[in-house]
């Protein structure tokens, strides 16, 4: 059964009346008109899919992507934002987590041009470039892949300008060659696959935790011990604005998370403020894991407004022009892995603002 909206229904009725009144009306043309109207509406019919109990906790955008062929996650997100995809006929956000047993309505698949444009204006600090992969020392403020908020000034846009051959590498054409990510304001090392074989190998190694990532971070507070392991599950906060340790109320399922740390330096600026330089090795790869775990043990990253403590507001470094209180100090310093029986070790220098703050702290 085809259901027409009010506007189309009235339009069709008017044409039928015109046909009846005008005996000279071209029957053939009118028949073509009817065919086009009904064909168009048929393509716009809704699909309704029931989310089962086992789908509880899944993001709606990822859930729909898994059901539809030849539709990217970017398209799905745009459709959700335009209310073409709804849950129980209600508008939802792309980050909505299914509760199970809901009805998901999917309208006409939008024909959206998802082609990613290369951007040669983004400067890349290339540490290594060979036939299998490229190692980037990512700058602060550079998003990894395009999103509905930013589609032109990302690492992927820059990579496509420098290495167009990676455009077909990977499982998602919006993230060609990308096997892991860094937060937008996290600096440091990132490996990008240049062919499908390497993409598969690196992805498997990350999943099997055979790639060691070492970070350096500046955090608040003095540590009781020089090293340790933080073992605390991480889940989504009820507000969806940040991750949180999985105690109390949270959304979805909590995931195990372990982070190893080692204190490299300690700087006492005053009786109230101490800053420590720590080496951090995440054993799992949860969103914001280092930031969440360090805040959890009472040592939030300097400048991390999302997971801050009251002491952060007392840090006043007006005399240091490189200091930026609006961003956190986390740097992916080292990357170790084995690929094709060859061992690789890469190290990245600190960004200028990180080095400047460390040099300043050395005075204390």
Structure-token match 């959304």, residue found = 251
- Give the DSSP H/E element, type plus range, for residue 11: helix 6-21
Q: What angle do CA 62, 66, 71 make, to 5 degrees?
A: 90
Q: Which residues, 6 or more positions from 206, have their beta carbon under 8 angstroms from its beta carbon?
A: 179, 180, 285
Ranges assigned E (strand) in 286-354:
330-339, 342-347
Helix-, strand-, coil-residue percentages of the chain, each rounded to 5: 30, 25, 45
d(CA 256, CA 103): 30
Annotation says 183 is catalytic: yes
Consecutive H or E run containing 101: none
Enumerate the β-bridge partners of residue 218: 277
Catalytic residue among 114, 125, 132, 183: 183
Tell me which residues are annotated as active site.
183
């Amino acid at each position: 059964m085809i259901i027409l909206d009010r506007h189309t229904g009235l339009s069709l009725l008017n044409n039928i009346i015109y046909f009846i009144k005008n005996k000279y009306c071209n029957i053939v043309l009118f028949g073509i008109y009817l065919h086009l109207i009904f064909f168009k509406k048929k393509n716009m019919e809704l699909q309704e899919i029931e989310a089962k109990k086992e789908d509880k906790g899944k993001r709606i955008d990822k859930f729909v992507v898994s059901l539809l062929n030849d539709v990217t996650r970017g398209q799905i997100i745009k459709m959700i934002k335009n209310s073409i995809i709804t849950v129980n006929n209600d508008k939802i956000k792309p980050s909505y987590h299914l509760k199970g047993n809901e009805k998901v309505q999917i309208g006409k698949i939008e024909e959206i041009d998802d082609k990613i444009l290369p951007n040669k204006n983004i400067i890349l600090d290339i540490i290594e470039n060979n036939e299998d992969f490229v190692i980037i020392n990512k700058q602060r403020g550079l998003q990894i892949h395009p999103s509905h908020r930013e589609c032109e000034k990302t690492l992927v846009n820059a990579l496509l300008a420098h290495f167009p051959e990676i455009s077909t590498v990977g499982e998602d054409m919006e993230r060609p060659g990308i096997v892991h990510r860094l937060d937008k304001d996290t600096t440091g090392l990132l490996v990008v696959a240049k062919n499908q074989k390497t993409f598969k190998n690196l992805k498997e190694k990350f999943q099997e935790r055979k790639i060691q990532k070492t970070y350096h971070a500046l955090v608040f507070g003095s540590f009781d011990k020089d090293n340790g392991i933080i073992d605390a599950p991480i889940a989504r906060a009820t507000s969806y604005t940040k991750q949180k340790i999985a105690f109390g109320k949270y959304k979805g399922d909590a995931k195990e998370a372990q982070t190893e740390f080692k204190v490299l330096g300690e700087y006492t600026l005053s009786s109230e403020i101490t800053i420590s330089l720590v080496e951090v090795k995440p054993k799992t790869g949860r969103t914001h894991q280092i930031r969440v775990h360090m805040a959890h043990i009472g040592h939030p990253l300097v400048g991390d407004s999302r997971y801050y403590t009251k002491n952060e507001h007392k840090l006043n470094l007006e005399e240091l022009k490189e200091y930026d209180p609006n961003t956190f100090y986390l740097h992916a310093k080292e990357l170790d892995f084995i690929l094709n029986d060859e061992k690789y070790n890469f190290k990245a220098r600190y960004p200028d603002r990180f080095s400047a703050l460390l040099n300043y702290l050395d005075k204390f």
